[in-house]
A and B are shown apart, each in its own frame.
Chain A
Amino acid sequence: ETGVTQTPRHLVMGMTNKKSLKCEQHLGHNAMYWYKQSAKKPLELMFVYSLEERVENNSVPSRFSPECPNSSHLFLHLHTLQPEDSALYLCASSQTPDRANTIYFGEGSWLTVV
């Protein structure tokens, strides 16, 4: 079993749909992250959670809504997205937020907005 598991791996949604991405980590870490990876751009940090509390929100549009019910699970709720939101969404975890330099990524969820 991999350390950080993301589902679904691929998602196609219309601009009016509501969907969610799910992440689960099996590493006993206390911090979890959502990153966005677009072609030819650096990874963009979206949200950081520490022990279920959001500690960072990098000016992400409200059409992205994170949820962290416990330290092992993280969701990204999506609604009324735009085509430019099509990207690879990566979940990651680390022991604590201040050990973000040794984070472990999941395999990502490929999102296409049509």
Chain B
Amino acid sequence: QKEVEQDPGPLSVPEGAIVSLNCTYSNSAFQYFMWYRQYSRKGPELLMYTYSSGNKEDGRFTAQVDKSSKYISLFIRDSQPSDSATYLCAMSVGYGGATNKLIFGTGTLLAVQP
């Protein structure tokens, strides 16, 4: 079983739709949860960063963590064609030690149709 599972998509939605992107994980020690956005032929950029359980909102984006279910979500409200990209979830155990390894999902390709 992979440590982090993410549906690769592609996910196609009309402009203005609410998008839900999800990842599940197996390591209950993960405490830091990140979402990266990667446009075609570009490097990933950090979109949202959440510690432990709960919700975090930033504009049209909401990150949600449910540690009891080992499930994280990214919601995009009023989706725009400019949101079309691959969304990568990533997580780590925490600080400390020589390195704090990030474990990534495979990414979900999102296409928002105008």
Known: A101-B32, A101-B34. A55 touches B99 (CB 8 A): yes
Mark interface residues in A42-67 (1 if CB within 8 Å of B CB, else 0).
11010010100001100000000000
The count of residues in chain A whose C-beta lies closer than 8 Å to any C-beta of chain B is: 26
Separation of A6 and B42 alpha carbons in the complex (Å): 11
Q: Is A34 an interface residue (CB 8 A)?
A: no
Nearest CB in chain B: distance from A58 CB, A: 9
- Counted as pairs of residues, one from A and one from B, with CB atoms less than 8 Å apart, the total is 72
Residue of B nearest to A44 (CB): B104
Interface residues of A (CB under 8 A from B): 4, 6, 40-43, 45, 48, 50, 55-56, 90, 92, 97-108, 110
Interface residues of B (CB under 8 A from A): 2, 4, 8, 32, 34, 36, 41-46, 49, 88, 90, 92, 95-107
